[in-house]
Amino acid sequence: MLAMLACMLGGILALTQGALESSYAGIGFLALIPFALGALATGSGLGFYNSAGCIIAPVVLFAVIFPLVHYGFAEGLVCILMALPFWLAAGLGGGLASYIAHRRMARESMAKGSAKLKVSALLTLPFAVLIAEELAPPAWQERSVVRSVDIAAAPDQVWPLLLSIPGVTPDEGRATFTHDIAGIPRPSEARLEQRGEVLVRAARWGENIRFEERVTQLAPGRAIGWDFAFPDSSVQDYTDRHISPDGPLLKIASGGYRIEPLGEGQARVTLTTTYRMRSRLGWYLALWGEVLLGDVQDNVLTIIKTRAEA
């Protein structure tokens, strides 16, 4: 059982490094692998065949796995936080299933070795589902995250800040889960540049993350829109290598500001970000999209509001 558990962990490492990486956000990886791990841990040589053991064994296993992949294999904290709720729930479910199977087999006077052997058959299910997901990937889904802020400044005072926000200092903006806990670098500047016939907002987060917002719509004083472009891998290099903004699972597509006059020297600014994702757990990943992208938007809008009102 311990050897099979080691093989399962090795398979996960191979999965995260290999050709099945596009199934990283699927049911097999987020639900069935932790379910099997929880069952195997409960049925391993620790002998935790009791109500406390089926909880303790999976929790102890994951308490070792997650720090190991974060510090030992440089897995991004964002990815770990996104996987943790599913892995914990599925792992506890697997431990409970192992406990129930053992009790049922014990009542039927079956040998303990047979019970462990049947539990170990769970190894085949996650990888079978992973292969099936790879052969029949889900359709792309398009979603948008929208945030707004009311600013005590006239639209003509706010508009220049929608075009360029240079020299953002670390103490500007607001505290957010995404920046202060998940560790995503804060926006540090966005500059509007003319490149031939194309207008580009060259954006930077922290010191190292770079990307471009290529302007597709410009209505001075009212709205600006763009398509995202990622000329290098700096986003995943300094956040999480599995969260490519233009990869097989996620594509950050477009965005833009809209400004509305509210009268009496006030304005409302709305920031929209549209992205596409591919996962059978889209409802869950969309919740994280609202949190992560929403935090970034709230932070940027707070900077604009503070500067405009000053």
pLDDT digits (tens, 9 = 90+) for 167-201: 999 889 999 999 999 889 999 999 999 998 899 99
3-class DSSP state for residue 184? Answer: coil
* Planar angle of CA 107, 112, 115, nearest 5 degrees: 80
CA nearest to 8, candidates 111, 179, 114, 127: 127
Give the whole-number percent of the chain exceeding pLDDT 90: 42
Domain boundaries, the chain: 2-135, 141-309
List the beta strands (DSSP E) in the chain: 141-151, 187-195, 198-205, 209-219, 223-229, 250-263, 266-277
**Least confident stretch, 90-99, 162-171, 254-263, 267-276:** 90-99
Q: What is the pTM of this model?
A: 0.82
Q: Residues near 180 by Cβ (< 8 Å), separated by ≥ 6?
A: none
Tokens 């052969």 belong to 135
User: When comparing pLDDT for 33 and 221, which is higher?
Assistant: 221
Q: What is the pLDDT of residues 120-137, one digit of tens each?
A: 566 677 777 777 777 788
Q: Residues near 248 by Cβ (< 8 Å), separated by ≥ 6?
A: 21, 22, 278
Kindly list the distances between the CA atom of residue 237 and the CA atoms of 132, 185, 207, 242, in Å, as whole numbers in the listed order.
Answer: 29, 12, 12, 9
Distance CA 268, CA 132 (A): 47
Residue 228: pLDDT over 80: yes
Choices 3.40.980.10, 2.40.10.10, 3.30.530.20, 1.50.40.10: CATH for 141-309: 3.30.530.20
User: When comparing pLDDT for 310 and 102, which is higher?
Assistant: 310
68-83: average pLDDT: 76
Residue 192: what residue type?
L
Distance CA 171, CA 94 (A): 45
